[in-house]
Structure 1
């Protein structure tokens, strides 16, 4: 692009951004009074809005049911997310009708709806419709492969792009064209080239034309915006591709840089020629093409249609340019930028790609500060596993909200759990979970913290440059360069250390500075933020020429630079002494520091009027965010240590301090002191805990006294009756091994996933199971459902009943078997039918009465299909009833119910049980002239309900593990009950591999012994009450 054209484009975008920012600011909450008015019941737009995984045949009745369940769970909206398993044709008239119906239901429920722009991910191919309408989107090739050869005849079957002499005599460096490969994940097509002109326009047109036709009047009201998911340049590369290529790559490169890329291809893969320069220029071009041809058109479209564009890229792969090339630059074109924080593992060192990756979330928040985007999304919790607890969920969301996120997008909420759909990165945030009826506790909490962290604005005066282009110089697709890993570790550790020291700053992208930065007397300005201190971080070797020019103007105007790297000896990838000369020219303004010494660094960076610190760095892990209000400040503090309490001290300008109780939204008094126009206070933050403080000029009219608690004066009340323990739902036996018979084989003792794979292999479907990690283009999978009678099969499940089970309990046994329309079901040779309107776990899971036909000893349930079906997914069956399970040589035996005891449910015969167990004690209360709290010191579960005298009193989920139940007690005898809720982990598995890794993916269920192991070898989580309940009486002061 010519310089004048680029400047004009930047000017147009800047004008557009200005108009957008005015609209954003006009609706922003800016005072503590406004916050208090809303925070008890946060508006829908601040509450969590999950990916609603449309993964089956969608119906209006199910939309009604599930939307109401979302509302009951404290959810504010949904992202309608097509995904593997979807039977309804994507983007068809039926799709548009059902989406429109969802919008109407949401309107009635006062909820929001978001468009997800793809059939699964990565965005860009519209579930195959882009390739179908625009074959040029992929067929030109998308990459260059690289090989060292010795014989030129080896190139006979290749599309040779270029040939260069090798380093050794008689060798050649061959570059050849590569083409993206077809995949069922892309609807049977290759992925598209997002850099090719017309692809983005085709994608937007194909994706949005139905929504425009039927839903345009709801854009910006019920329909809030569009989510884009992981658009990237790497997906178009086939195996063996070294260099991402697009047809006008060479022309664009020469126009921008003035020399030939084709003549310098070896520099991209080997350290030959001017390799640092070529790599810098190549990755700069790829970034700018991606921005100009993908991000800017989408930004313009959403602006014109009153929609917010959100989503995320591959920010977790930074600094590798194939992954996180420069997310900040993309964030500037999103009205609501976003990140992706999946899995369950939190890395306190900040080096992981997901949870704990402080750099990635800080980059999001700080780029949004610069662009003026009030809201910042995180796709959250996907693949955390069925076993994740409320406390763990809270801890993970607190951490990212403290760093800048203020819109939580849970991943996923299953529409259906049929077949392998139940293994698509669980958990599911939906009615299927045993804890769903209590999720409103988290829904309300998340709404409150997201509302608070959208109030006012965060203003930081220090800018830390990100060393993106330094990594580009070292990157080669044919060789892992340790220098990139070292840079990643150094910079992430540096950012983490700043957070530990409670240092407030923003991150700076050179591409963003190039497009939106200018220097003046007030400092370096990037859109909505101005900085008076620029930090060059450790590890940085390269700056772009535009950045150096900005720095020079900034220094000339009196700005200050803090350098933690003296090795910035490259400009635009070429060795250049100018940065060192700048430092020498401004010795009073260019300050060098040792990055390992944080106190001098903090002294230079931190606002002298603000002092926030963690009192003991060895106890807890404290993060904070401070926001400016028109009438004061907010201070949000979290402790990301799961187990240990942390303590903070704060000294901040203001007259008074109070806390907002994030469980209730009520204002609570805080002990503080005043001196010289500042307030000082200290606070404990329990493990996985959080605090929200308001520093302002006066206390609100309604404020709750702080809860004083003298542990020494507390009295532990003793129950007058023994602890009563009771399972509240039917026990479960998951039968996960079976016998599979077809005309070709009869295989016994098969793990169900292996049986499923064998059955689809027998069927000769080219897709295998078409609903497993594949997406359907139009109706291609339904059109494959034309099997003849030679594809019959039978699946036989066996289970054993001990004679100790009484006849009355035996006759009440039921079985849950998926997909009743595929096969007939019999038990012990007698056909049975599902109960009318009865379901378990999922509304698509029918219940069969089997007790009248079951018998002591071995029983067999047989599924018989007269022909194969694309829906014939072999899954476990589930036996329900009032029984215990005893480990057997193979699996488990159903036996008479055990008397339950404290400790793991597994030991009480409930290894597969996922629901609730009640622990009831009875207490005599002489008077109510005290505060009574139920304390639970040792328990394992997702969440626990507290019931007093038959009424639900509240929940216990995170520290402090206690609940004030005073208002629910009476003088005399009282029943106090703790209902511990499990998770679906023990019901749905996986049961045959140890929990390892950071995420549970669909493949996590593939591993199991070839034959069924004994029950003692199944792997379960321990749930239950491990210690006694404590009822504490605290006299009133």
Structure 2
């Protein structure tokens, strides 16, 4: 008989809560939302990863924190990552953490810790396996070999199971005496996590093994506790964990006391049944169900709960995420919702820039993934829901992309945005580490405040109030347990079918504007009950319970609660009809789901949704076009409604009715509240609005009127005539990228090799496997202290051509990474770097005009010796010139006066990432009683800055591509300038490996020379003239 040891867990989860200060009546106050809206506090603002990936100094910390404050961030997560030079968890490390906390406090920025040196969490930058060898040396997997004859030597096998007529028996103890005997045998050999540079030269660790989490927490947190005198609450907001996992190194997942605990819990011996974890024989579904249920409990009890309890005891929050995207494959994380329940701030990551609503493994577009953590937050009283977002989307993500991705997440329930990533250093391979990068290197950084303010306002609206949904949709995790396997693939198709059916249902309900939460059976066990015809989960009570298509299994507690639920008047809708309970066939379940107590539906049709799944609190009268989502939150005196259109190219026209008499529009772009025309009838207010592509509309609806201003005019009117055609000019120096070089390394020569590949060759010639910082974490000072004294020096030659006369060579500069490590020569003459830098403090600008001539020029980086810091980068030439294709190469030619509108490559600026100016002059006869807006419909870039009469009026980055400029327009002549801002894709790349929304460090491995015509470049620029429009 199975034993349940979860009484304490139930109590802890019922208490739930968070360290955030917004809990209680204050969070329900609409007045607090209005007070925060114009300029939200730091708790609602974004908190990027402040990546520590170099030598950490107070100077660097000061600069970065000041930049974050200036651009509207509310704090940082300190995140060590590849390239870290300062020793992780050393006294110096802790001093720098304290310095960051103190500086952050002075600036009003929250500081959060990160629990690992990169990811996945658990190995403490290599310290855990070295200080606790039993964390890995006992084995983590059991890999089977099938045999028809018992081998003579069975010494290497840990478990041997014999099969006869579909029944299994552990014969390990007598296997030696069975040598040569025929039969069907499964011989299991232990497998172990292997050492890897990614794990700081050691192996990953077994998070299911007793004491491993305690050791990890001790190593990770003791220095911080000592640094802050035990007062973590007074100094840091919380701790971020990143992708902890229980994957197997080969074979079925095992941990040292697995068999003993399994026997205690379930009353039978798992070692007898090991083949049923990968073979469809006998009662294999039951065995797998019990196996994954136990792994899930061990993962909670031995990893998640200790962290939750530790943070609760310290008055801080535990957050971060698991690898939630793999569901319904559960071999890394057994149950996403079970794990997220044990976080004060449940979290996910939402990386890349690929919108995909279909795949169960998708990130952006995966509605299920966000609904899981939002539902946990609703049910367990967690005020905040985090998303680590943007990482790996590439340098080419625009403001519209970033807004769209955040809007989509926020309308689904995220309200704490953690940007991935903001690197302290871009030197060497660090610049390839999953861009974009949220720091001053980004071309759009000086405009980022506007987007940060927008996100903060929406997050405030999504953090305050309460979302109360009446529909609960069961996530069929215990059903997919029965078809998951660590070894082999025979059953995985069925797991994917169940998962896909659920994914499709969740997506369909969301598109139909159904208001629902997801339910987790493991949380039902600890926090579920039935009361007055409601299915209660923690702080939420549901009148309708939905079983997804193809659901096969229910836990006993769930089944019993459902029977009580329908007996007391609850509505149970079954698209699927479970026939198993706890993994075993159940005639009771079959009879129950065939009874009249259950509303059985063959498919989720629009008619079924309208009949059974509509909320009384909202009615969509009309919705046409786009990809509409909504989120409604209740306050003490009204409710908010957030409408989001995730389509990039089609608007959504919406007519929606809600309970109330008055409505206002809260404009999250400018922080102001505007009047909203409405119709009222029968205690309801009807609002008609358009949600632009990648747009949002935030409404507040109440019975009492709210003070609001009249909306701005941004349509109609008369375009004014300019005094001539648009004038085009770069705002900064042009730039040429040199990324293919010649390398002399000892007695080896390389011609036209990509700079990153050349750098790897230098390290290989020094006896290493490649760049020691690439896909590697440093244990203590292992990388810094590498002895490369026997390695040869090298010379890297970067060649560029200046064609013809008239090129302004005098102003030319080159940009070189870490030039102090080399003798830098231009056409044979040594040159010195000063203090001026660009992109990164380690990228120095060196004036070279007096040494450059017409024809071929050569920049040489001469390294007398190879060190771990001599990572070759590209070299850039900057100045007033154009860059054009000549044959297969890029060539510098004289700058010309720009003519008609063309993309920047056609203007001779293929690598230019910054502002391009488009200016016109307009005459205004009189401004009294009139308003003005700028309209710029067609352009390619990150955003458009609008300048009027020398003052910045604002930015444009999404439809309707208009900006009110009335306060900046004067009678007489008005100079209007649009500055299209590019991004770093054309400057940094990747230029030679195709990608579509996913950019990882390997995209900068280029095996051969590429022609100029083969570079991947975005055609930035203004494609259609802009207008200044006058409205009466």
TM-score for both structures, normalised by structure 2: 0.96
Q: Distance in 2 between matches of 1:876 and 1:529?
A: 56
Deviations 1:488-546, CA, capped at 9 Å, x for gaps: 22111111110111000110000010111112224221111111211111110111112
Q: 1:7 deviation in Å? A: 4.4
Contact 1:501 1:614 in 2 (8 A): no
Contact 1:48 1:76 in 2 (8 A): yes
Contact 1:338 1:377 in 2 (8 A): yes
Check 1:926–1:15 CA distance in 2 against 1; reply closer, same or farther (3 A cut). closer
Is 2:429 aligned against 1:432?
no
Q: Distance in 2 between matches of 1:1025 and 1:512?
A: 54
State which of 82, 88, 91 in structure 2 corresponds to 1:90. 88
Is 2:377 aligned against 1:378?
no
User: What SS is found at the alignment partner of 2:204?
Assistant: coil
Q: 1:667 deviation in Å? A: 1.3
Aligned residue runs from structure 1 range 283-682, under 5 A: 283-349=292-358, 351=360, 353-476=362-485, 477-479=487-489, 481-566=492-577, 568-583=578-593, 587=596, 589-612=597-620, 615-616=623-624, 619-682=625-688
Is 2:95 aligned against 1:70?
no
Q: 1:349 deviation in Å? A: 4.2
Contact 2:14 2:527 in 1 (8 A): no
Q: 1:23 deviation in Å? A: 6.9
Q: Distance in 2 between matches of 1:181 and 1:613?
A: 59
User: What SS is found at the alignment partner of 1:146?
Assistant: strand
Q: Which residue of 2 aligns with 1:861?
A: 859
Q: Distance in 2 between matches of 1:486 and 1:8?
A: 34
Q: Distance in 2 between matches of 1:848 and 1:610?
A: 63
Q: Which moved more, 1:557-566 or 1:417-426?
A: 557-566
Is 2:780 aligned against 1:771?
no
Q: Distance in 1 between matches of 2:637 and 2:280?
A: 57
Is 2:224 aligned against 1:211?
yes
User: What SS is found at the alignment partner of 1:652?
Assistant: strand
Q: Distance in 2 between matches of 1:74 and 1:414?
A: 17
User: What SS is found at the alignment partner of 2:251?
Assistant: strand
Contact 1:319 1:325 in 2 (8 A): no
Q: Which runs of 5+ in 2 are unaligned?
A: 167-181
User: What SS is found at the alignment partner of 1:62?
Assistant: helix
Check 1:572–1:868 CA distance in 2 against 1; reply closer, same or farther (3 A cut). same
Q: Distance in 2 between matches of 1:734 and 1:745?
A: 25
Q: Which residue of 2 aligns with 1:981?
A: 981
Q: 1:158 deviation in Å? A: 3.3
Check 1:139–1:709 CA distance in 2 against 1; reply closer, same or farther (3 A cut). closer
Deviations 1:791-815, CA, capped at 9 Å, x for gaps: 2211111111112343xx2121111
Contact 1:805 1:894 in 2 (8 A): no
Q: Distance in 2 between matches of 1:228 and 1:328?
A: 16
Check 1:352–1:15 CA distance in 2 against 1; reply closer, same or farther (3 A cut). closer
Contact 1:96 1:211 in 2 (8 A): yes
Q: 1:716 deviation in Å? A: 1.5
Q: Which residue of 1 aligns with 2:908?
A: 909
Q: Distance in 2 between matches of 1:430 and 1:759?
A: 30
User: What SS is found at the alignment partner of 2:100?
Assistant: helix
Q: Distance in 2 between matches of 1:571 and 1:682?
A: 48
Is 2:686 aligned against 1:687?
no
Check 1:217–1:1034 CA distance in 2 against 1; reply closer, same or farther (3 A cut). farther
Q: Distance in 1 between matches of 2:229 and 2:691?
A: 46
Deviations 1:390-415, CA, capped at 9 Å, x for gaps: 00100010001001100000000011
State which of 741, 744, 749 in structure 1 corresponds to 2:752. 749
Q: Distance in 2 between matches of 1:698 and 1:867?
A: 75
Q: Which residue of 2 aligns with 1:941?
A: 941
Deviations 1:769-797, CA, capped at 9 Å, x for gaps: 12111100101111104413x52211111
Q: Which residue of 2 aligns with 1:704?
A: 709
Q: Distance in 1 between matches of 2:161 and 2:904?
A: 67
Q: Which residue of 1 aligns with 2:784?
A: 782
Q: Distance in 2 between matches of 1:787 and 1:167?
A: 66
Contact 1:350 1:358 in 2 (8 A): no
Q: Which residue of 2 aligns with 1:828?
A: 827
Over aligned residue pairs, what C-alpha RMSD do you find? Answer: 1.9
Q: Distance in 1 between matches of 2:665 and 2:231?
A: 38
Deviations 1:589-635, CA, capped at 9 Å, x for gaps: 4211232313323321222342136522xx10000100011101110
Deviations 1:11-55, CA, capped at 9 Å, x for gaps: 54246537x699762374212222111110000111110011111
Q: 1:1015 deviation in Å? A: 1.7
State which of 251, 262, 271 in structure 2 corresponds to 1:262. 271
Q: Distance in 2 between matches of 1:28 and 1:424?
A: 41
Check 1:710–1:454 CA distance in 2 against 1; reply closer, same or farther (3 A cut). closer
Q: Which moved more, 1:408-417 or 1:549-558?
A: 549-558
Contact 2:473 2:545 in 1 (8 A): yes
Is 2:800 aligned against 1:791?
no
Contact 2:44 2:74 in 1 (8 A): yes
Aligned residue runs from structure 1 range 15-26, under 5 A: 16-17=15-16, 25-26=23-24
Check 1:609–1:65 CA distance in 2 against 1; reply closer, same or farther (3 A cut). closer
Q: Which residue of 2 aligns with 1:740?
A: 743
Contact 2:378 2:467 in 1 (8 A): yes
State which of 111, 114, 119 in structure 1 corresponds to 2:112. 114
Deviations 1:650-683, CA, capped at 9 Å, x for gaps: 1111121111011122111111111111111121
Q: 1:222 deviation in Å? A: 4.5
Deviations 1:135-161, CA, capped at 9 Å, x for gaps: 111110100112234565596673342
User: What SS is found at the alignment partner of 1:908?
Assistant: coil
Contact 2:650 2:693 in 1 (8 A): yes
Q: Which moved more, 1:206-215 or 1:514-523?
A: 514-523
Q: Distance in 1 between matches of 2:552 and 2:24?
A: 42
Q: Which runs of 5+ in 1 are unaligned?
A: none
User: What SS is found at the alignment partner of 2:723?
Assistant: coil
Q: Distance in 2 between matches of 1:247 and 1:157?
A: 18
Q: 1:177 deviation in Å? A: 0.7
Tell me the number of residue pairs that the alignment of Structure 1 and Structure 2 aligns. Answer: 1013
Q: Which moved more, 1:298-307 or 1:519-528?
A: 519-528
State the 4+ residue runs in structure 1 displaced beyond 4 angstroms: 1-4, 20-24, 150-157, 165-171, 348-352
User: What SS is found at the alignment partner of 1:658?
Assistant: strand
Q: Distance in 1 between matches of 2:891 and 2:155?
A: 62
Check 1:635–1:870 CA distance in 2 against 1; reply closer, same or farther (3 A cut). same
State which of 1001, 1016, 1019 in structure 2 corresponds to 1:1022. 1019
User: What SS is found at the alignment partner of 1:148?
Assistant: strand
Q: Distance in 2 between matches of 1:212 and 1:534?
A: 45
Q: Distance in 2 between matches of 1:785 and 1:717?
A: 69
Q: Distance in 2 between matches of 1:645 and 1:249?
A: 55
Q: 1:722 deviation in Å? A: 2.5
Contact 1:185 1:774 in 2 (8 A): yes
Q: Distance in 2 between matches of 1:102 and 1:2?
A: 50
Q: Distance in 1 between matches of 2:366 and 2:665?
A: 29
User: What SS is found at the alignment partner of 1:253?
Assistant: helix
